[in-house]
Amino acid sequence: MAENQYTEDNIRSLDWKEHIRLRPGMYIGKLGDGAAADDGIYILVKEVVDNCIDEFVMGNGKRVDIKVKDGIVSVRDYGRGIPLGKVVDVVSKMNTGGKYDSKAFKKSVGLNGVGTKAVNALSSRFKVYSVREGEKKEAVFERGELVEDLKIEKTDESNGTFVEFIADETIFKKYAFKTPYLAKMMWNYCYLNRGLSMYFNGEKFQSKEGLKDLLENNMDGDPLYPIIHLEGEDIEVAFTHGRTYGEDYYSFVNGQHTTQGGTHQSAFRESIAKVIRDFYNKNYEASDIRQSIVAAIAVKVVEPVFESQTKTKLGSQEIEPDGKSMRAFINDFLKESLDNYLHRNPEAAELIERKIKQSERERKELSGIRKIARDRAKKSNLHNKKLRDCRIHLTDLKDERREQTTLFITEGDSASGSITKSRDVNTQAVFSLRGKPLNCYGMTKKVVYENEEFNLVQAALDIEDDMDNLRYNNIVIATDADVDGMHIRMLLLTFFLQFFPDLVKRNHVYVLQTPLFRVRNKKKTIYCYSEEERKSALEELGKNPEITRFKGLGEISPDEFKHFIGADIRLEPVILSKDASIDSILSYYMGKNTPERQTFIIENLRVEKDLAQTNNEIEAEEKNDSDNKEIAS
């Protein structure tokens, strides 16, 4: 057996763009296809916009224009503009930028000099120009390679920086931008930067009351009491209690949305419980105090430390180097500001205590049922009746594959069997439902423990006590694309929205898209997810290809299923629009029949008719193909 050679020839030195393109995950996290809010294409947009926000924070430029169309992203700010002699260097030389000067960018997010370089290297085309005092400097790159370095010229344009890029399709496979994710990003920038105007595809985004606006625009239904909005030096907090289960947090550091929380969010959760206990002089359970809380917290930190380059979780223990701890900083702020507010607003204080006591009663009523439910869940898992688990989980913080962890929830032995045989056992788990779940709309959380299916789903996800224990990053509903499959999908979504809305709000819930048709000839097989794709495949493959209509997941063999849950998986995210109310959605679709819903069904019957017509056409084509084969033989 030949020895592995290890010589000078094995040692390579990569230049900046080669390393980014070879290891993009180190710079922008997961790549994805745009189905998830933290996919790489959104990180590219964010990295460019972050620079515009830093200019605004420094008092330069109150407007940012963003356009996203046909995969082309353009961002224009009206700040000072990059110094003209450094335009090329700033976007193509690692560890180069103005944010190393802590006097100029004391509390900036992008401290590592990486952002726009990563965008440049991962774009098939990247254009940048800067305008300063009537002069303009422009450069164009392709996959990080400088292809046009234009000379400085005179211009009438306003000061500022313009960046335009197209994400490289050889790296981001079949990606597509989803407007709701981008709109949410723009709103967050505005909530944190009052006075800033952002124009996204011509629509204006602006906030007057910061985090208070954020909660008002994102809460489901009316709050139990007026939103408490507190501000101090380097900290802003807004919170209230809502009418849904769980805890819902929006946390930010230096304008960065820390979707996975961190030390500041943990400190807020601890501190709010402590301050409220002290105010009422009662030792309430922290879980009862925080049940149904909806809160936003934003802090400004000198040289923040994040747990990854994508900056989704804060790791800083101190508000500034060698300064006060994050816990002490937030606790001192709430101890003074919140305590004063509650003394000045006795009506709000009374409503808060009433809510805490209600949560306490519900918890005690459920305590016995929860113990029985836990034992039942453990016994079921022991016998592996429902869950085929994977080896890696979202809670495995040191495993780089934790973001890929997925739980497929499916119905029936044949469908779950196909997925189980074709899955990646490291990151993909399968939960098999037995029949249709209960319609739980309008029920209390007691049903989660009393209903076996719901109890076991909750146990599989490990979200009974805390969302931070969630075991899978992606929860994927995998049902047949027929009436029964759609009904099961709605029943599961009702369960999540009714009892665990944070799962949807935090973009953990998806619907698996599986092909409706397989079109193939001897040379090629094309899987089609719509009637339009079927027609396109027929045109591509020419005469008499074989057409198969998949009527259920159980009809798809494990060998074929590998194509649909692997690298080319198609996931449709479950997104709540800014104006959506969970209660109104569930009432409309899952409540008692209403004239409005009857009208909706009647108006949409044509979809079923079209599907039936398509099936008849395919059956006719299959019969014709069979007849032709018999004649030929």
Rounded-to-integer distance, Cα 85 and Cα 197, Å: 29
Domain that holds residue 104: 16-205
Domain boundary among 293, 328, 363: 363
Ramachandran sector of residue 286 (left: φ over 0; alpha: ψ -120 to 50; beta: rest): alpha
Q: How high is the pLDDT of residue 258?
A: 86
Q: How high is the pLDDT of residue 505?
A: 84
Residue 61 amino acid letter: G
Rounded-to-integer distance, Cα 446 and Cα 11, Å: 62
Q: With DSSP H G I counted as helix, E B as strand and the rest as coil, what are the percentages for the chain, rounded to 5?
A: 40, 20, 40
Strands of 449-599, DSSP E: 474-478, 509-513, 517-520, 525-528, 546-549, 570-573
Rounded-to-integer distance, Cα 442 and Cα 145, Å: 58
The residues near 220 (Cβ < 8 Å, ≥ 6 apart) are 242, 243, 244, 501, 580, 581, 582, 583
Rounded-to-integer distance, Cα 320 and Cα 300, Å: 9
How far, in Å, are 77, 356, 364, 505 from residue 360 at the CA level?
A: 50, 6, 6, 25
CA 610 to chain centroid, in Å, comes to 33
Contacts 24+ apart (CB under 8 A), 52-58: 52/77, 52/79, 52/161, 53/189, 53/193, 53/196, 53/255, 54/99, 54/105, 54/108, 54/109, 54/110, 55/79, 55/80, 55/161, 56/193, 56/195, 56/196, 57/107, 57/108, 57/193, 57/255, 58/104, 58/105
Tell me the Cα Rg of the chain. 27
pLDDT band at 631 (very low <50, low <70, confident <90, very high): very low
CA dihedral 488, 492, 494, 495 (to 10 degrees): 140
Query: Ranked by mean pLDDT, which of 291-305, 314-328, 338-352 comes out on top?
Result: 338-352
pLDDT band at 123 (very low <50, low <70, confident <90, very high): very high
Give the model confidence (pLDDT) of 229-263 as tens digits: 999 998 999 999 998 888 889 999 888 888 888 88
Closest CA relative to residue 578, chosen from 205, 69, 243 = 205
Residues 177 and 225 in one domain: no
Residues 201 and 218 in one domain: no
Does residue 550 lie in a domain region? no
Residue 437 has pLDDT above 50, yes or no: yes
Residue 56 has pLDDT above 70, yes or no: yes
- Domain containing residue 200: CATH number: 3.30.565.10
pLDDT band at 304 (very low <50, low <70, confident <90, very high): confident
The pair phi, psi for residue 450, each rounded to 5°, is -80, -25
Residues 136 and 102 in one domain: yes
Does residue 376 lie in a domain region? no
Does residue 548 lie in a domain region? no
Residue 92 has pLDDT above 60, yes or no: yes
The residues near 40 (Cβ < 8 Å, ≥ 6 apart) are 24, 28, 29, 30, 31, 32, 122, 167, 172
Both tokens of 203, joined, read 């629509």
pLDDT band at 606 (very low <50, low <70, confident <90, very high): very low
Residues 136 and 282 in one domain: no
Residues 459 and 503 in one domain: yes
Give the model confidence (pLDDT) of 354-384 as tens digits: 999 999 998 888 877 877 777 776 766 645 5
Residues 583 and 453 in one domain: yes
Instruction: Give the angle 439-443-444 at the CA atoms, nearest 5°.
Output: 140
The number of distinct structural domains making up the chain is 3
Q: How high is the pLDDT of residue 113?
A: 55
Residues 474 and 451 in one domain: yes
Mean pLDDT for the stretch of residues 265-279? 94
Residues 419 and 448 in one domain: yes
Closest CA relative to residue 291, chosen from 496, 460, 466 = 466
β-partners of residue 197 are 63
Domain boundary among 179, 205, 231: 205
Both tokens of 157, joined, read 């344009």
Residues 102 and 133 in one domain: yes
Mean pLDDT for the stretch of residues 609-622? 52
Give the model confidence (pLDDT) of 72-84 as tens digits: 999 999 999 999 9
Does residue 628 lie in a domain region? no
Chain mean pLDDT for the chain: 85
Give the model confidence (pLDDT) of 533-573 as tens digits: 999 999 999 888 899 888 778 778 888 888 888 888 888 99
Give the model confidence (pLDDT) of 578-605 as tens digits: 666 777 777 777 777 667 766 766 666 5
Residue 322 has pLDDT above 80, yes or no: no
Does residue 70 lie in a domain region? yes
CA atoms within 13 A on the CB side of 206: 12
Q: How high is the pLDDT of residue 423?
A: 92
In this structure, how many other beta carbons lie within 10 angstroms of the beta carbon of residue 317?
Answer: 11
Residue 185 has pLDDT above 90, yes or no: yes
Rounded-to-integer distance, Cα 545 and Cα 557, Å: 20
Residues 401 and 355 in one domain: no
Domain boundary among 186, 205, 224: 205
Both tokens of 110, joined, read 């992008």
Mean pLDDT for the stretch of residues 451-463? 88
Residue 198 has pLDDT above 60, yes or no: yes
Residue 608 has pLDDT above 50, yes or no: no
Q: How high is the pLDDT of residue 632?
A: 40
Does residue 260 lie in a domain region? yes
Residues 349 and 249 in one domain: yes
Does residue 197 lie in a domain region? yes
List the single range of 200-204, 212-216, 308-312, 529-533 with lowest mean pLDDT: 308-312
Does residue 600 lie in a domain region? no
Q: How high is the pLDDT of residue 609?
A: 47
Residues 78 and 129 in one domain: yes
The residues near 483 (Cβ < 8 Å, ≥ 6 apart) are none
Residue 104 has pLDDT above 50, yes or no: no
The residues near 339 (Cβ < 8 Å, ≥ 6 apart) are 275, 278, 279
Mean pLDDT for the stretch of residues 428-443? 88
